[in-house]
Amino acid sequence: MKLAYFVHDLADPAVRRRVRMLQAGGVAPVVLGFRRSETAPATLEGAPAVDLGRTYDARLAHRAKATALAALTSGRCAAALAGTQAVMARSLEMLAVASAARRACRLDGPLTYECLDIHRMMLGKGLKGRAMRALERALMRRADLLIVSSPAFLDAYFTPRQGVGHDLALPTLLVENKVLELGAPSAARPAPPPAGPPWRIGWMGAIRCRKSLAILTELARRRPDLVQVQIHGRPAYTEFDDFDRQVAALPNVAFGGAYAAEDLPRLYGETHFAWAIDYMEEGLNSSWLLPNRVYEASRFGAVPIALAGVQTGRYLAGRGFGLRIEDPAALEGPLDRLTPADYLRLRGELEAAPPDAFVAGEADCRALAAAIARASPPPLDGGLPRPEAELAT
C-alpha cells in the first residue's frame, strides 16, 4: 500500500519512528511536510520526502500562512502522490493540507487524522477557539479514521467537545508513543546506577516546560547532595527566559543536547529516574497526554516520575510502577526519605511490568497498517486496542 504521509516537521524523530512503523506494517510511504531545520532531508528511513517549506516554533501566524499556501498549491504534489492508496495527516494543520491534496490530486483512498497533542488554541472559549474547532470538525468529516496517542484525548476533548462517537461517526484508534522494536528481541535493560544519592533525574525529549525547569533547577540548587539533573533533547527556547544560563549556573545540572534513538539505552541507563511531568499546557493537554519519555524511560530502566492526578500518573498506576507524586515542588521530601532498598523496589516493579506496556513490535505495525487500509480499528482481541475499550476498563 502506497501512503501519502503529511507531517508538521520532517526533522522530528517521532516522524521517523512512525515511518518505520508504517514500513514494518507493509506500507510504502511518501512523506510530505514542513521542516523546522535549515535543510530538508531527501528521504526519511529510505522513504521519499517532499519539502513543503520551513516553519518555526511559536510563530503561529507564519505557520497558518504556510499551511494555507501548501493547501492551495497542493496540486503540485500530483507526481509524488501518483498511485497513492491512502492518505495520513499528522496534526490539524497537515490535515488541512492533506485534505486539499486528496481533492486536487483526485485520490480516493481513506484519509487518517493522527492527533498527538491538543493545542491550547483549540480549547479557547472565544471566537478564535470556536473557529478552530469548527475547522477541525469540518475536516474530520472528510476523514475516515482518527488516531490518538492517549485515551484522554478522546475522553476530555474529541468526544465531549467535537462530538466524535455522537454526531460525528468517525472510527478511532489508540496508538501509544511506545518504543518501536522490530526483529529479534532487544537486549535487556541497562544495569541501574548505584542505588543511593545523589539521585540522577533525566529529562529527555522535547524540552519545553518552563515550570519543570524551575522545579528541577531549584531543587538542584538547594540540594546538590540529593540530586543531579541530566537534560537531553531539543529545547523550545521560546518557552524559556534563558535556558542555557539556568542550566550552566549549577554544576549538578547538565545539558547534553540532541540525541539519536540509539543513544536512549545509555542515557536512561545513567539515571535513576525520568522526569515525565509537563506543565506547558497545565490542566489541558499536559493533563491528557502520554509522552514518549514515559515509554522510553520504562523500556530502558529509569523509574518515571509523574503527577498522580493526570493521564501519565493513571497509566503508571494501572501498570503498577513509577514514582507518582501529588506536588513536584515537594519532591525533595520523598527523595530525601528514599533508601537504596526503596529504589530497588521501584526498579523491581518496573522490571516486572510486561514489555508490551511500553514496546511496540511487528504485530502492532501490521495492525496499524491494516486499520489505515480499512479505515477502521482492528478487532479488540488482537493488535492495538480501541480507545473506547481502554476507557471502559
CA nearest to 155, candidates 286, 314, 288: 288
Please, what is the end-to-end C-alpha distance for the chain in angstroms?
A: 34
pLDDT at 73: 76
Gap between the Cα atoms of 75 and 293, Å rounded: 38
Instruction: Give the number of other Cβ atoms within 10 Å of residue 172's Cβ.
Output: 22
Domain at 199-357: CATH code: 3.40.50.2000
pLDDT at 223: 96
Share of the chain above pLDDT 90, in %: 69
71 versus 131: the higher-pLDDT residue is 131
Average pLDDT, the chain: 89
Kind and range of the H or E run holding 19: helix 13-24
The mean per-residue pLDDT over the stretch 144-158 comes to: 96
pLDDT, tens digit (0-9, with 9 covering 90-100), for 201-215:
999 998 999 999 999
pLDDT at 185: 64
Whether the per-residue pLDDT at 385 is higher than 50: the answer is: no
75 versus 145: the higher-pLDDT residue is 145
pLDDT at 378: 39
Whether the per-residue pLDDT at 379 is higher than 50: the answer is: no
What are the backbone angles phi and psi of residue 302, rounded to the nearest 5°? Answer: -95, 125
393: confidence class by pLDDT, cuts 50, 70, 90 = very low
Q: How many CA atoms lie within 13 A of 216 on its CB side?
A: 32
pLDDT at 96: 93
pLDDT at 390: 37
384: confidence class by pLDDT, cuts 50, 70, 90 = very low
Task: Quote the cell numbers at residue 66.
Answer: 504556510
Gap between the Cα atoms of 49 and 30, Å rounded: 6
Equal CATH topology for 2-182+361-392 and 199-357: yes
The mean per-residue pLDDT over the stretch 365-388 comes to: 63
pLDDT, tens digit (0-9, with 9 covering 90-100), for 126-135:
999 999 999 9
386: confidence class by pLDDT, cuts 50, 70, 90 = very low
Instruction: Give the number of other Cβ atoms within 10 Å of residue 228's Cβ.
Output: 20
Whether the per-residue pLDDT at 280 is higher than 90: the answer is: no
58: confidence class by pLDDT, cuts 50, 70, 90 = low
Domain boundaries, the chain: 2-182+361-392, 199-357
Radius of gyration over every alpha carbon of the chain, rounded to an integer in angstroms: 21
Provide the pairing of β-strand 28-35 with 47-54: parallel
pLDDT at 187: 65
What are the backbone angles phi and psi of residue 383, rounded to the nearest 5°? Answer: 70, -145
Whether the per-residue pLDDT at 257 is higher than 50: the answer is: yes
Q: Which residues contact 252 (CB under 8 A, 6 or more apart)?
A: 198, 220, 224, 227, 228, 229
pLDDT at 31: 95
The mean per-residue pLDDT over the stretch 303-324 comes to: 95
Domain at 2-182+361-392: CATH code: 3.40.50.2000
Q: What is the pTM of this model?
A: 0.88
Whether the per-residue pLDDT at 387 is higher than 70: the answer is: no
pLDDT at 252: 97
